[in-house]
Amino acid sequence: MTRRALPSPRSIRGFTLIEAIIVAIILGVIAVGIGRVQLNLFSNHADIKDLQIRTAVVQACAEQVLAFRKSSAGGYESVDATGVAATTFDATHCGGMSVPAGYSISAIVADYSGAACPANGICKTVTITSGTLTSLTLMLVNY
């Protein structure tokens, strides 16, 4: 039988301290990069959630305006800046609906006589706004 010579302790080498430090620095840079990407993802998620809540609030307010117009005794006439709905639809209210904490809604009613109003119609606009979201304008027409 032949014996195989075992390598000497000097020929078995591990990582040097410099190599270990370089690897640690590279892993640190990668970890910081991943952390920043995660932070941006969570920030964008919060913005999207805010946009969805504001959109739902504006939609609910628009439905309140249409429901108030259909169900109230005065119908079309009730949705007015100076009439019965003046306390219901204004710069701080939208038909008595509850708005989530931290959000605001305004529904401004105004008479309208522009070109979009039909010749024999009486028109009103209801502009609904919530924060920085683009306003939604409804035109109510009474023929």
What is the reported pTM? 0.58
Q: For residue 46, what are its two tokens?
A: 């919060």
The residue ranking higher by pLDDT, 71 or 82, is 71
Domain containing residue 76: 17-142
Q: What is the pLDDT of residue 25?
A: 95
Confidence check: pLDDT of 136 > 60? yes
Q: Does residue 63 form part of some domain?
A: yes
Per residue in 23-63, pLDDT tens?
999 999 999 989 888 887 777 777 888 888 888 888 888 88
Question: Smallest Cα–Cα separation from 113: which of 104, 123, 98, 103?
Answer: 123
Beta-strand pair 136-142/122-129: antiparallel
Q: Does residue 8 form part of some domain?
A: no
Neighbours of 116 (CB within 10 A): 11
Q: Does residue 10 form part of some domain?
A: no
> Distance (Å, rounded) from C-alpha 13 to C-alpha 19?
12
Q: How many domains is the chain built from?
A: 1
Q: For the chain, what is the mean pLDDT?
A: 78
Q: Does residue 7 form part of some domain?
A: no
138 touches 128 (CB < 8 A): yes
> Distance (Å, rounded) from C-alpha 44 to C-alpha 49?
9
Q: Does residue 2 form part of some domain?
A: no
